[in-house]
Amino acid sequence: MISDEDKEKVRQATDFVQLVSETVELRQRGQEFWGCCPFHGEKSPSFKVNPATGLWHCFGCGDGGDVFSYVQRRENLEFPDAIRYLADRAGIELSEERGGRRGPRRTRLMEALGEAEAYYHLMLMRGRGEGPAAARAYFAGRGFGSDVCRRWGLGYAPGRGQLVAQLRAKGFSAAELVSADLAMERSGRLSDRFYERVMFPIHDELGRTIAFGGRILGAKGEGVAKYVNTRDTPAFNKGKHLFAYDKAKESMAATAEAIVCEGYTDVIAMHEAGFTNTVAALGTAFRLDHVRLMERQRVSRIVCLFDGDAAGQRAAERAVRYLDKTSAALLCVVLPDSQDPMEFLASHSADEMRAQLDGARPLMDFVFEKRLAGHDLSAPGRRVRALEDMAGLLAPLKHSVLLDEYATRLADTLGMDVEETKRAIREAPVAELDEERPRRTARPEAPASRPAARAAVEDAEAPDAYDYVPAEAYDQVAPPPPASAGPSLGALSADERMQAAAERELLCALSLRCDALRAYAERIAGLSWVDERHEAMAWAMLSTPEGASPAEVVAAASAVVPDAPRILSGGRVMEESELSDDEKLDFVVDNVELFSCRRRVRQIRALLRGSAAGDESEALFEEATALQRRAGELSRRLSSVSSE
């Protein structure tokens, strides 16, 4: 579980303005930074970041929050993963990683992997002998000159313990090299994991080296794999990373399209031809985690550029199971003459490749056509066998809303009853992918697949389910929120909506100038609040020690109301340039007290129309009279401010 201490450590280590500036052009206005919102299209800046409070808000779409909610939106992450993302950027090791770790620190493994990439690259570019020469010839034969090799950090692994000696001289321990899967024990000696192979470095989304793929040079010997990839380590999980994702993610976001190839050289060739939104799976089948990774860039199209051979068809069939699990369209392209992308680009222009991609077909269309092409549908018995075959293919979608569509299509093609076709699909077993099958023996260097309490941690740390709605949206009827989340917007009157907005302005002022507002504590104590969350936040902020920073005040509010960052991000009054700071504070307190007085008067009137009588009735009448006088006074003060 991620501790509060770690969250604050990550928050303090993150330069919020620098983080946002990676994708948004910001300009400073006073203490705040403004730009166009990255989450919706706009031409006039309505998005702001306040480094003092650590909050952001967009007045165009109404969204806002803290640095963690910003990363959640930008990277499409759950709350715990947003913390882990920022911790990775800052080089902070979370206590959950330290507590569950057996062996070297993850950061040390990544340092060793980075050094290994530099060494392999040096061997490729400057190494002498047959091995480096053959590696250079291999890359040159694929059109990858020295510039391409430098851009991609390509390398050559000579083996014979040379990497081990190099890294041991730099201070890395044997345990670190084994844990990073750079070395292995052979006959009691530490040996290089990769030898006599060209090397493709694999990076995480921040561009740090986390693994390698190595291809053998020349003909394969008996029992020698063509490709050898880094095993799963504390720094790398092949089912959760994509080759070249660090280079492709910005282009994915800009084009709303992702292209998935099958090989490293295919990806490099595509990037060099201008298709910089291309990635590849890493020694494993295309998986749902890969889809989720691409969805973080809000792609609307995922084009699977598979080879035209049997392996490419199997890859397309495996991807069918994700059709109902993504909002992106899953499409498929098979290049002519069963060429792979590198071969196609060697003899065709980038425009011709673009034409192929533009003609991408829905993945299911391709799979249907290819799978059914292997069946003779002329006889009833053969159509039954075709149904059994297709039912196994469609079995992963047996509980999907897409079942009706695909079952009807299959039934029409085979000339069979739709309900019988559905039944066959529902009864067919769902085939496991190779990497989903449990291993007979556990590898000591592989991390646990997933902590048992992971789901519980994510549930416990997820933001409050009730999203705070800005005042501008209070006139829209919302579905009833959970009982503990605050008042139902649909139940608020127009005056109550305006009071809720005034309460929000007071809270925003508290987050920025808490010490100055302590002088108003008695007036704040007498307010009749519309939203009990607002009251809890106000007292949490006023309870902070004098001299507390705005970030500390926001943290105090967040401790009692998880959605506090979103609520506190959208204030307007404190940004007014026509009023002095003291005038702004008077205005926000007067405004919320005015609405509070009017609300209390309405409550008293309701009581007087009810059963209140005698002394109680007289006391209520006197209270209402005093409140009306106070409301008139506040109204005149506010009118004088607005007329200036």
If asked whether residues 507 and 585 sit together in one domain, one would say yes
Tokens of 366: 């391709």
Do 519 and 535 belong together in one domain?
yes
Highest mean pLDDT among 47-61, 277-291, 387-401, 454-468: 47-61
Residues 630 and 515 in one domain: yes
Which string of DSSP letters, residue by residue, matches 192-237? ES--SEEEEEEE-TTS-EEEEEEEE-SSPPTT--SEEEPPPBTTB-
What are the start-end ranges of the E strands in 113-194?
155-157, 183-186, 189-192
Distance in Å from the first CA to the final CA of the chain: 54
Q: Is residue 297 part of a domain?
A: no
Per the domain annotation, does 171 fall within a domain? Answer: yes
Q: How many domains does the chain have?
A: 4
- Clarify whether residues 483 and 618 are in a common domain: yes
> Residue 241 falls within a domain, yes or no?
no
Q: What's the pLDDT score for residue 422?
A: 87
Confidence of residue 462 (pLDDT cuts 50, 70, 90): very low
Provide the residue range defining the domain that includes 151: 102-236
Pick the last residue of a domain from 176, 204, 236: 236
Give the separation between CA 28 and CA 50, rounded to whole angstroms: 10
- Characterize 222-258 residue by residue with b for buried, 16 or more Cβ atoms within 10 angstroms of its Cβ, and e for exposed: eeeeeebbbbbbbbbbbbebbbbbbbbbebbbebebb
518 and 637 assigned to the same domain? yes
Please indicate, yes or no, if residue 275 is contained in any of the structural domains. no
Q: Please indicate, yes or no, if residue 466 is contained in any of the structural domains.
A: no
3-state secondary structure of 46: coil
Going by C-alpha positions, the residue among 569, 509, 571, 468 that lies closest to residue 56 is: 569
Q: Which residue has the tokens 């994702």?
A: 245
Instruction: For the chain, give the mean pLDDT.
Output: 82
* pLDDT tens figures, 128-179: 999 999 999 999 999 999 999 999 999 999 988 999 999 999 999 999 999 9
**Would 111 be classed as within a structural domain?**
yes
Q: Above 80 in pLDDT, residue 314?
A: no
If asked whether residues 170 and 50 sit together in one domain, one would say: no
Of 172-176, 496-500, 613-617, give the range with the top mean pLDDT: 172-176
Q: Would you say residue 40 lies in a domain?
A: yes
| 394 within a domain of the structure (yes/no) | yes
Please check whether residues 166 and 65 belong to one and the same domain: no
Over residues 338-368, the pLDDT tens digits come to 888 999 999 999 999 999 999 998 888 888 8
Answer yes or no: do 535 and 408 share one domain.
Answer: no
Which of 236, 263, 294 delimits the end of a domain? 236
Question: What is the arithmetic mean of pLDDT over 487-512?
Answer: 80
Q: Are residue 394 and residue 498 in the same domain, yes or no?
A: no
